Amino acid sequence: MSADTTPAVNDTVSLYDVDHPAPVIEAPRKRTKKTPKSTRTNFEMYGWLFMRLSGIVLVVLVLGHLLIQLVLDGGVSKVGFAFVAGRWASPFWQAWDLIMLWLAMLHGANGLRTVINDYAERATTRFWLKNLLYAATVFTVLLGTLVIFTFDPNIR
């Protein structure tokens, strides 16, 4: 049986031979000085639990929010300054929106953090992407909280 093989070695002189093999990719998980030490905290466990628990709560909060905003009582066309002012006059809706803001932002931020950990390959890329993520999260959460608590329906 003759082998239908692609040419194994081309005619040009190879850079590599027995004494000078090509470099192989560095083995993963090799213990180097840069290998992070074990942290011995429960942060990852709490993060994992938070994703599950906040997810359950968010299903109720977000679907309820979408139902009120987009479906009931005339749909999206009713939403205006007056509608928002009317809702935020009640502490119940203030609390609803505040909890939804915090849970959704932390849930999303933690999800993106794991995505960055899984996909960013270089340590510096990872560092800057996460810094950007944390900055955006803190900014949005603080701004949203400020608006919910200091909303003034009589603003002109």
Partner 1 sequence: MATPTTLDKLEADSTTSHLITVTFRVRRFNPEVAAEASWQDFQLEIDPKERVLDGLHKIKWDQDGSLTFRRSCAHGICGSDAMRINGKNRLACKTLIKDLNPSKPITVEPIKGLTVLKDLVVDMDPFFQAYRDVMPFLITKGNEPTRERLQTAEDRERFDDTTKCILCAACTSSCPVFWNDGQYFGPAAIVNAHRFIFDSRDEAGEQRLEILNDKDGVWRCRTTFNCTDACPRGIEVTKAIQEVKRALITRRY
Q: Is 11 in the site for partner 1 (CB under 8 A)?
A: no
Nearer to partner 1, 31 or 33 (CB): 31
Task: Tell me the closest approach of the beta carbon of residue 12 to partner 1, in angstroms.
Answer: 11
The amino acid sitting at 48 is W
Six-digit token string for 109 = 């931020």
What DSSP state is assigned to residue 76? G
Contact (Cβ atoms closer than 8 angstroms) between residue 141 and residue 105? yes
Identify the CA nearest to 53 among candidates 17, 103, 15, 98.
103
Q: Counting contacts by CB under 8 A, is residue 13 touching partner 1? A: no
Q: Does residue 72 interact with partner 1 by CB under 8 A? A: no
- Give residues with Cβ within 8 angstroms of 63, minimum separation 6: none
Does 56 sit near partner 1 (CB under 8 A)? no
| Residue whose CB is less far from partner 1, 5 or 150 | 5
Contact between 152 and partner 1 by CB under 8 A: the answer reads no
Q: Calculate the alpha carbon distances from 74 to 66, 71, 77, 84, 96 in Å.
A: 13, 7, 7, 15, 21
Return the residues of window 102-141 that contact partner 1 according to CB under 8 A: 114, 117-119, 121
Stretch that binds partner 1, among 37-45, 67-75, 94-102, 105-113 (CB under 8 A): 37-45
